[in-house]
Every structure is written in structure tokens, then in C-alpha cells.
Amino acid sequence: MKSIMFFSILRKDLKRKKSMNIILLLFITLCAMFTASSVSNLIVVTGAVEFYTEKSRLTDFFIFKSDNDTEQFEEWLSSLSYVDDFEKDIGIIVNDENFINDDYFTLMGVCALTTRPERYGFPLGDDNNPIPVLSGGEIALSRFDARRSELKIGDEITIRVGDRERTFTLTYTTKDIMYGSPYVDTKRLIISDEDYDYFMATSGEQPVLYLAYSISTAYPQTVHRELQKQGFIVQMTGDRAMIEQTLTLEMVLASLLVVIGVVLIIIAFAILRFTIVFTLQEDYREIGIMKAIGLKNSAIKNIYIVKYFAISLVAATGGTIISIPFGTMMLESVQDNMAIQSDGSMGINIICGVVIIGLVLIFCRLSSGSVDKFTAIQAIRGGSTGERFKKKRFFHLNRRKSIPTVFYMAFNSILSAAKSYTVLIITFVLGTLLIIMPLNALNTLKGDDVIYLFGVVKSDVYIVSPDTTVEADIKKAGELEQLYKENGIELELNTVLLIFPWLYTDDMDSGIQMLGLQSSVYETDMNKNYTGGTPPVLPNEIAVTNLAMDRLGVVIGDTVSVKIGTDISDYIITASMQSMNNMGISMLFSKAADIDAPHTSTMTLQGNFINRTGFETTEELIKQMTEITPDYQIKTAGQWLDQYIGSSIEIIEDMKFLVLFVVLFINGLITILLIRTFVTRERGEISLMKNIGFNNRFLKLWQIIRIIIVLFVSVTLGTLLSNPLNPVISRYTFGIMGAPQMPLNVVAFEVYFLYPMLLLFGTAAAAIFGSVAVNKIDFREINNVE
């Protein structure tokens, strides 16, 4: 008898609360899908780093340098007993002007033509194995660069070096652990030995060479310490950990999915508690009767636990199944840059699904405590125990005569039963935060101040010279100013120099290699970068990034030794700063510092127009300048910056739209659920209002306005809460790039108007759809009023 009643009540509940159960089913499905796919992807991506390094045969230490003192350098390297082996990778540096079909190929940073390595740092193909040695006329480049340039297998790329030209067919797109990450400024294009020799034999201007040494050693730090004691001109050094750090960006999307999964779990549990409490309150008659015939509290609770177990089992199973293709889809962008071994991820998805079911059951048990409070007398007295009913009005309409009746009812409903709206408020606040945080990060990357973090100031144009020496660039700056002026374009050019010094304190063994910059415009315009102290002015003053100072254990005011080539000089740290150059390990020299030209190179020429007469836009000026000097790359600030952070913007853009879609979907489901719940709970009141003359349109508007008021309050709370969370987001988003203290750029129009309006219209549409339930309430249901 009891078991028949048990399943009869269960069947009745599932049928009667169809909308509520379906929405709860959808939420638990989403929880399982996001949680299983995100956790699985995060584990897969984390484990893929080791798999990727093994497949690529990544060595222990790397030295990047220009083509000078090569013979002496290799003799020194061969003399080190703790160096097991090394391989030299030589590349021909090419710029935009080397690509004949330049409109078809988007070049990022420094690009080098090189042959496939023989032993270390292999570029991998689609099968996660090293690509074969190429034949004449074939070329391979990383998937990231191919996608960015909209290139596909079979496309042709024509390259000219000196007086030699050759058309290549794109044969492979690769996963290149050394040069394929968006964080790495230098890119390599793999060609055949035959084509490499063909370009090297040019009778025109000799190509500039780029050397990268892959060193196999069990003592990379020892190699690093010994290298800084030498006088070789080295551009950059790094170890395996540095290369692995460039893969950090690939984990951002997987990490965001984990955050979304956690938020969905919180929302699902809030919904679960709301539905359990509502169901128990509505089932007071059944619960009272069951108690009257002798059922214990635990037996009654089991009815609801079985119900939610069935729902969670179906939802978690469906979510786990969907999480597999969903996770694969989310991994596509990661697989462009990493070799991933995805075997075994199915087990992780299943475990996550089981955990979701377990958490639902535990939460269900904790939320069913109100069963203990119901008594048999409540079944007899219509849910009452005989006590006086409390007032439900929060304020008096006659004191608020200026408020329209519908707004009065909406405000009064919310204020007199605020707990009922807790789920909605939590959902809207979390959704607002999920939208604002990626939005602020994206707007910061697109903002004007980011360019300062790369060692240049905001200028009208940035010019990359085809010359290879600093002396030539400095001379050219004056010549270019005069040449452009003769053609009606007046501008002022400044040269930004790159230096690769070693920085250490008392012990040279504790030193680190830095990326140094020098320009004549830092004192006033680079203040946005400084986090403490005063800008360097005197020849012996420098500014050092916070990350580098922490690694060296120094503070502002300390004296450090700077080694450039064989020259060692003492400098005073007058300021701390942050920078996105070299993953945050960089420094600034004052414009008064005298640095030998052989140890420097040119980062860019930056120019500002003095007179724009005859030209309406910067683009028109750049077009005219390109016609005057076709061998120079001339870019706007946005184009110049895109080569460094364009990939980061793309990833955050993808996250923003994904989060916006998820939040709108969640808001819609929650809104429909709560409106239908409120309508069910207030059937008597709504029927009474219909009997005294209120029409369906008025009653629907009442339901919708309640949701909009709660949304407005929640968006306001979420926006205010985002302010203290901004530093956390900044540390996470920009910290991996080297600027953990980057102030987020809040675009008021988007944060305070555009996206709240999207939430408002999306949620209002769901509220309109949910309010249709008012039409189904009959005039005769007035007997259900309290």
C-alpha cells in the first residue's frame, strides 16, 4: 500500500510540475555538459604540454642570436662538458616586402625562412608526428599563422629574397612548439634545403640571418650562468619552462569553461532548493496525509530524493554524452597550437557526471528539512496551523499615489517576499559578472594604454625599416622626414631601440637576461607603465619591471650591474614598471644612456604628423607614404599592436560571445521557471483579480515588471561587485602576459548600457513567454486564495 502511494505521488508530481522539472533537467544537463567538458579539457591540455614537448623533442635550453661571432660561440658551446648536444637552426629573416602576394599573407612579428630541424624542436603535422623533409617548392607554417592569413593547404605564396624569387605551395600546416604560439613574436616558415640554398645564393643584398640554438643539457641554469660571463651578442635565452609558459594562453578558454560550470552548479543548486521548497509547500496535503497514516519523515523525503535522482540521472547522462562533442569543439582552437593526446578523457567526463548526481542528491537531502515541520493538521486546515496570517503588504498604496497600480503591485510583491527572488538575483548577478569580466579584459586590450606596455608611445604611424643596423635606421629617420616633407607629408620620427643586456646584483651567477628599450619620449608619455619611483633621466638610471625585480630580489634605489656585450656598468633602479615585452622581464634605459650600436637593434620608427593638410584620414596618409617608400612597413597603432596581442583579443572575443549566449539562455530558463512558479502559487490571487476586473494584459505586465525590477537591481549589484573583482581578473588575464597590475579599461557605454540592455530585452522576452500561463487561470479558482 505504501509503495503504491509512494510511486503514485511520484508519478503525479512529475506530471503536474512538468515545466519546473523540465527546466531543472535542462540546468543539470548544462551543469554536467560544461563541468565534464571543461574539467576534461583542462586535464587534457595540462597533460598535453608534456606530450607536446616529447613529440617535438623539445630540448632543455635555447639561445637566440644574430649572425655574428658564430664560430667563437659554437667553439665555446662545444667546450662545455655538461652540454650533451646542440643543434643550430638558421633562418633568413623576411618582412612584408619579401612577400609578393602581401595582401594574401598577414605577417606577424619577425619571420624566418628555415629548413626542418634534424634532431630538436620539430614542427608537427596533423598526426602529431614531425613533418617530413620538404621538397623543392613546398612550404609549411604554423596553423595559427595559416588561419590568421586565411591560408589553406594548396595555396601559393610567392617570396622574393634579394634578386631571387620563388613561388611555394603550402603543403603542411604545423603545430610548432618553438614558434607557433601567439605569444612568440618570431615565426618560422619551413622550406626545403634546395630552396634555402637558392635564396642564400642571391647576388643582391645578402639576407639577414637569424640563429637559434637548441641545447641538450641536464644543467640549463649552469649554461645560463656561464653564457652571461661571455661577451657574445645574444638576443634572448630561455629554457623548457619558458617555452611551456607560452602555451598558457591555450588554457584560458578551458579555465573559463570550468568557471562557467561552477557558476551553473551554483545556479542549479539554487534552483533545486527553490523547487524543493516550493514543491513541499504545495504538497502540504499529501505530506500531512502520509504522516497521518504513519509514514515517517525519512520515507516521505525519499519520495523527493528518488524524483531528483531520476531527473539528475537522466540529465547527467545526457550532459555527459553531449560534453564529449562539445569538449572536442572547444579544443579545436587549442589543437591548432598544441599536440593533444585525448585518449582516456571519456573516463573524466563520466566521473564528472557521477559527481554531479552525488552533489544533487546531497543537496536534495539538505533542502528537504521542511518535511519535518509539516503536520497532519495542516492537511485539514488548508495549509494553516491556525495561527493568524501575517500582512503581505510592505508599503501602502494610498501613500504612494503617484505610482501606477501595476508598479505598486510589482514592488510590493518583491519587497514582501524577497526570499522568493533569491534564485533570480543570484543568477542575474553571476551572469552580469560573467559578461562584464571578459568585456573589461577585451576593452583593456583594445584600449590606447596597452601600447605603452610594449615599449612605445601612442603615435600616428609605426614604420619598420628594411635596414638592419641602428646607424642606418637613425640616419634614415632624418632622411625619411625630409623625403616625406618634399612630398607634402610633415611628420616627426623617433627611433625605439632594442637592447639585450644581462642584469645581476653582486653575483653574476644570479643574473637574468632582459629585453631593454631606449627611446627619447619615455619621461612624459610612459608614466602609465610605472608602478613606483620616478622615470630614469640620468645615463646611469633605469626602470625595471616588477617581475624582474622580484626575481633578482631588488627594490627601487638599489644598484645593479648591467652587462652589454663585454661592457659592465652600474645602474640605479629609479622606477618599477610593468611590461608585456618578453613575458614581463624587461627594462627601460634613459634617453641619455650611451649604448654601443653593435649591441642594439631597431624595434620601430614611430611618427606623429605635424601637418595633415590635404589628407582627411591617417589611412590616406599611410597609403601615400607607402607609395613614396614601398620597401617600408607602415602601420597604424592598432595594426602594429595587433601583431603582439591580436591572438589574445580573438580568444577573449570568442569567450565573450560564448558567455553572453550562455547567460542569456540561463536567464531565460530561470525567468520562465520562476514566473510559472509564481503564477502557480498565486492562482487564487490572480483569479480574484480577474473577477474584480483586471485583464490578462495587466496581470502579464505585473509579472514582467517584477522580473525587470529584479534584473535592474541584480545588474547594478553585479556591476558594483565587478569593481573589487577587477584586480583579480587583471592579475589572471594580464599577469601571464607580464602586466599583473594593468588597470582594466571600463567602457561605460557597453558595461552600463549596451549589455544591460541585451540582458533586459532577452530576459523580458522570456518573461513575456512565461507570463502566458496567466491566461490559463480560470475565474473559478478564486477558492484557492489564502
Q: What is the pLDDT of residues 317-368, one digit of tens each?
A: 998 888 888 777 766 666 666 777 765 567 888 888 888 888 888 877 877 7
Q: Is there a single domain that holds both residue 71 and residue 202?
A: yes
Of the three residues 635, 660, 690, the one that is the final residue of a domain is: 635
pLDDT at position 498, please?
83
Report the DSSP beta bridge partners of residue 729: none
Q: Is there a single domain that holds both residue 445 and residue 423?
A: yes
% of the chain at pLDDT higher than 70: 82
What sign for the dihedral angle of Cα 365, 370, 372, 375? negative
Residue 161 within a domain:
yes
Contacts of 349 (CB under 8 A, 6+ apart): 36, 37, 40, 320, 323, 324, 327
Mean pLDDT of the chain: 79
- Express each pLDDT in 84-129 by its tens digit: 999 998 888 887 777 876 555 555 566 889 999 999 989 998 888 9
Q: Is there a single domain that holds both residue 200 and residue 260?
A: no
Q: How much is the average pLDDT of 616-641?
A: 82
Nine cell digits for residue 134: 620538404
Of the three residues 350, 369, 389, the one that is the final residue of a domain is: 389
Cα 353 from Cα 595, distance rounded (Å): 62
Cα 729 from Cα 735, distance rounded (Å): 9
pTM (2 decimals)? 0.72
Q: How much is the average pLDDT of 63-74?
A: 83
Of the three residues 635, 664, 699, the one that is the final residue of a domain is: 635
Contact assessment for residue 157 and residue 99, using Cβ atoms and an 8 Å cutoff: yes
- Express each pLDDT in 192-221 by its tens digit: 999 999 998 887 677 778 788 999 999 888
Order of strands, sheet of 187-191, starting from the edge strand that comes earlier in the sequence: 156-161, 164-174, 138-142, 187-191, 111-115, 83-94, 209-217, 61-66, 234-239
Which range among 159-168, 426-435, 632-641, 690-699 shows the weakest confidence by mean pLDDT?
632-641
pLDDT at position 719, please?
86
pLDDT at position 785, please?
47
pLDDT at position 422, please?
81
Q: Is there a single domain that holds both residue 294 and residue 323?
A: yes
Q: Is there a single domain that holds both residue 48 and residue 65?
A: no
Number of domains in the chain: 4
Residue 259 within a domain:
yes
pLDDT over 50 at 41, yes or no: yes
pLDDT over 90 at 573, yes or no: yes
Report the DSSP beta bridge partners of residue 94: 111
Q: How much is the average pLDDT of 656-684?
A: 81
Cα 456 from Cα 496, distance rounded (Å): 7
pLDDT at position 11, please?
67
Residue 231 within a domain:
no
Which range among 160-174, 303-317, 427-441, 463-477 shows the weakest confidence by mean pLDDT?
463-477
Q: How much is the average pLDDT of 260-274?
A: 71
Q: Which domain holds residue 265?
A: 1-54+250-389
Which of 696 and 34 is assigned the larger pLDDT? Answer: 696
Contacts of 292 (CB under 8 A, 6+ apart): 376, 379
Q: How much is the average pLDDT of 263-276?
A: 72
Task: Tell the residue number behind the cell numbers 569538449, with chain if given.
Answer: 327
Report the DSSP beta bridge partners of residue 63: 213, 237
Q: How much is the average pLDDT of 642-647?
A: 69
Residue 230 within a domain:
no
- Express each pLDDT in 467-523 by its tens digit: 545 555 566 777 888 888 888 888 888 888 888 888 988 777 777 888 888 877 665
**Rounded to the nearest 5°, which phi and psi values hold at 75?**
-65, -45
